[in-house]
Amino acid sequence: MKLRSKAAALLLLALAALLLALLSLRAGRAEPPAPPARPASAPQRHPAPVPARWPGPGALPRAGPGARRRRPPRPRPRADSRGAVRLEKLARRPGEPRSFQAVLPPELWIHLAVVACGSRLEETLVMLKSAVLFSHRKIQFHIFTEDSLKPEFDKQLRQWPDSYTKKFEHRIYSITFSVGNPHEWKKLFKPCAAQRLFLPVILKDVDSLLYVDTDVLFLRPVDDIWKLLRLFNSTQLAAMAPEHEIPKIGWYSRFARHPFYGSAGVNSGVMLMNLTRIRSTQFKNSMIPTGLAWEDMLYPLYQKYKNAITWGDQDLLNIIFYFNPECLYVFPCQWNYRPDHCMYGSNCREAEHEGVSILHGNRGVYHDDKQPTFKALYEAIRDFPFQDNLFQSMYYPLQLKFLETVHTLCGRIPQVFLKQIEKTMKRAYEKHVIIHVGPNQIH
């Protein structure tokens, strides 16, 4: 009987091993046979831990005592060339697939804020359009505006095609100032511009935020500047670009009558913020020896320096980071490229190497003929029909328009403006072809 039991057990083990071998062949996975069972006293080698937690080994089928532990087989892309495998990987990037957007939790969205008053409706919509055209992750728009503009913002955004409205949600807020005199804040520099100072107080449920002026255009995915949040060290809570690259011709270094950050100040038209850190930090200041919370600091700071500031809320931010330089991360000028970077000669090296990432058309250059290169980009994005081909309806007409601007200082370096947007359009086209045509049909 004992011999029969042992023979039966060996037969079962042999059948189990044969079954596993057949399953491996069927799945197309050529794996070496499992090693012989180890003695119970032999040490077990476990695979290195991975971020995703898989079910415990005890939950997986085993061929017998001491047999190699196996994970369930994963489907692998089958391709005749390395190029097809690369296309398969690109097809799995987040952004276009509806299924991915459906499961993306709200805390992983990008939060983008803008303040628009007066005649800034069209300009703001073009900025939001540039953000949506190339983005991969879902975006939450926080639009602060006058009550008279709220219905029009809502109407215009809801008229965009479904293929784009699925990539964002929007919330529209009234202009509010939690401390001080609202009329003073509203008149500070441009209408409502001081609202950006109060974003950490108003958006209490938002962890991080990208604030941009209405006259900003994204020439690459918003996702890319959002990644800069990962580069903050333990004390940094905001990021901005320098106001100028050359201090001797910069405004702050020549004319400012108040403290400012660094040697040339910073520009607040594109500002990346960790709101959680801002709300929890006690800021050094020139008013009291101890620190002040962000909200408690704003109005006393304005009262102290209001007769010395020229650029309103941007000057106040420069004063804050003058006393708290460890709190600021300074990103390159390609993320906030303005006419100053080309009208006095090209002085943004990062843009020369990598192209403009975010265009900032301050001084009204989208709406006059002083900087036709900036105006051409604005009109190309404004007039682009959502469902058209990006290369045919935006990029090629833009190249033709740039030929008409070569006589201007900024028009002499068209590659600076076109380099990044060309890369972005190629990525968008590649994703469109992979998703709507399929990698197996690309030859």
Mean pLDDT of all residues in 66-79: 47
Mode of pairing for the β-strands spanning 266-274 and 208-212: antiparallel
Q: What was the pLDDT predicted at 7? A: 58
Candidates 181, 186, 88, 33; CA nearest to 433 is 88
Helix (H) or strand (E) holding 134: helix 121-134
CB 110 within 8 A of CB 198: no
pLDDT score of 250: 86
Give the pLDDT score at 358.
Answer: 98
CB 142 within 8 A of CB 230: no
The per-residue pLDDT for range 265-318, each reduced to its tens digit, is 999 999 999 999 999 999 999 999 889 999 999 999 999 999 999 998 999 999
110-331 is a CATH 3.30.710.10 domain: no
Least trusted range by pLDDT, from 266-275, 282-291, 320-329, 428-437:
428-437
Rounded CA separation 187/302 (Å): 13
pLDDT at 21 over 80: no
What CA–CA distance (Å, rounded) separates 336 from 358? 5
In 3-state terms, what secondary structure has residue 272? strand
- Whether pLDDT at 126 is above 70: yes
pLDDT at 30 over 70: no
In this predicted model, which residue has the larger pLDDT, 105 or 354?
A: 354
What is the band of 181 on the pLDDT scale with cuts at 50, 70, 90?
confident
Higher pLDDT, 225 or 103: 225
Confidence of residue 426 (pLDDT cuts 50, 70, 90): confident
Q: Please check the confidence at residue 100 and state whether its pLDDT lies above 60.
A: no
Question: How many CB atoms are closer than 10 A to CB 183?
Answer: 9
pLDDT tens across 78-98, in order?
A: 444 343 333 333 333 333 333
> What angle, rounded to 10 degrees, do the helices at 372-383 and 396-403 form?
160
Give the per-residue pLDDT at 14.
Answer: 66
Which tokens go with 232? 């903050």
Mean pLDDT, all residues of the chain:
81
The two tokens of residue 55 are 């079910």
Domain ranges of the chain: 110-331, 339-436
Among 14-28, 98-112, 281-295, the range of highest mean pLDDT: 281-295
| pLDDT at residue 182, as a whole number | 82
Poorest-pLDDT segment among 3-7, 8-12, 379-383 = 3-7
Can you list the positions of beta strands (E) in 317-392?
328-330, 358-360
Per-residue model confidence (pLDDT) at position 200: 96
